A = this chain, B = another copy of it.
């Protein structure tokens, strides 16, 4: 059994602590911030995330899916809100497939609680990582004003998109690194609960107000409220820069999101007081230093949130690392480099897919031709689920590696481009001819 250091007690760090502790290792988790369990999260009202199959699988393997399920809100489809306030519903899957709205803070508390129940896990909060010496596996933390030196057999860095460990690795020779920001940022706003904690819009759906270059979305919380997120350009005609006064904000929302405007009572105050956050993508290589240090989750592959796969891909890191560890007879010396090498292509793929999905969400979900395309795909999927699975389903409801899903999706896109270019596809779409052509193209792709 080894001594494992985990840097960062966020979602991925605390789940990885559970995984490694259940293998019998001594696990120490160091976190820069204070103990999130001591923070009073307003019941159910906090930033929420969409948990889907990859995440559930990773939680299930350490036996904590049932406790998470208790507070997760299933969302069976998208509800699209147009500028008149009209809505349309697009189910995500064929059956009752759903993604689940969960509170980020609540889930993080729960993961730490579960890990902390194990005797061989210790948490150290308010420990800021100052430096790492990878050759000697030594990390220096700052706690209060003291400097503390910690050594471990293996170091897992799950310290997020702005990872201190990765910043050190970046200074080493031949470390490839990229960080880039979207021209859009985001701001959270709140639709409060109705009387007696009732939901003022459909609870079991993800709400989208797509508006071309920007969009608003909303996910439900357990107290009946919804957390809305406005994804909006930093600069330009309609942007965080141009929209500042109470009047500007109110007029904009009245015109562009009229039904949402009615539901957000403190709109301009919230807009003015809540922070505007940026959207970063991080890629790097290698994720490991020899068989000693491994970057996981956002520390190695921070992505934009538009496929709802940031947390899910981080959780999948834990379950896939576990697979690789098992395949190598629990030998970290082999598992760490193998994970770093083989998992990277999947992280790159979901990173790419997440960037593409922003276009789809803010723009295409309200586009006629795009909707027809999706309708055709859905029909083929319903009739031939083994021959054609839409990309969204591959990513969200399957465990197909992200890189394979991306490849499949690119092939499908080419096929559907051909189909959509057919004359009169609007009337032909439901014909046997179109169905046969898709299946034939797909079989030969």
Q: Which residues of A contact B (CB under 8 A)?
A: 162, 170-171, 173-181, 234, 278
Contacts and interface: CB of A to CB of B under 8 A. Distances in A.
A178 B181 contact: no
A445 to B, nearest CB: 28
Contacts of A234: 174
Contacts of A173: 181, 278
A171 B171 CA distance: 14
A177 B177 contact: yes
A234 B175 CA distance: 14
A358 B102 CA distance: 50
Nearest to A277: B173
Contacts of A178: 177-180
Nearest to A182: B174
A234 B174 CA distance: 10
Nearest to A282: B177
A174 B170 contact: no
A181 B173 CA distance: 9
Contacts of A278: 173-174
A179 B176 contact: yes
19 contacts: A162-B171, A170-B179, A173-B181, A173-B278, A174-B181, A174-B234, A174-B278, A175-B179, A175-B181, A176-B179, A176-B180, A176-B181, A177-B177, A177-B178, A177-B179, A177-B180, A178-B178, A178-B179, A178-B180
Q: In this complex, which of A162, A173, A234 has the most chain B Cβ atoms within 10 angstroms of its Cβ?
A: A173
Contacts of A171: 162
Given A174-B234, A175-B181, A176-B180, 16 more contacts: A162-B171, A170-B179, A173-B181, A173-B278, A174-B181, A174-B278, A175-B179, A176-B179, A176-B181, A177-B177, A177-B178, A177-B179, A177-B180, A178-B178, A178-B179, A178-B180
Contacts of A170: 179
A224 B170 CA distance: 40
A162 B179 CA distance: 16
A200 B433 CA distance: 75
Closest 6 CB pairs of A and B: A178-B178, A176-B180, A174-B181, A177-B179, A173-B278, A174-B278
Q: In this complex, which of A175, A180, A234 has the most chain B Cβ atoms within 10 angstroms of its Cβ?
A: A180
A173 B234 CA distance: 12
A171 B161 CA distance: 11
A175 B179 CA distance: 8
A162 B181 CA distance: 21
A178 B176 CA distance: 8
A162 B176 CA distance: 13
A180 B178 CA distance: 8
A36 B178 CA distance: 33
A176 B278 CA distance: 12
A178 B175 CA distance: 11
Nearest to A176: B180
Contacts of A181: 173-176
Nearest to A234: B174
Contacts of A175: 179, 181
Contacts of A176: 179-181
Nearest to A185: B174
A175 B180 CA distance: 7
Nearest to A183: B174
Contacts of A177: 177-180
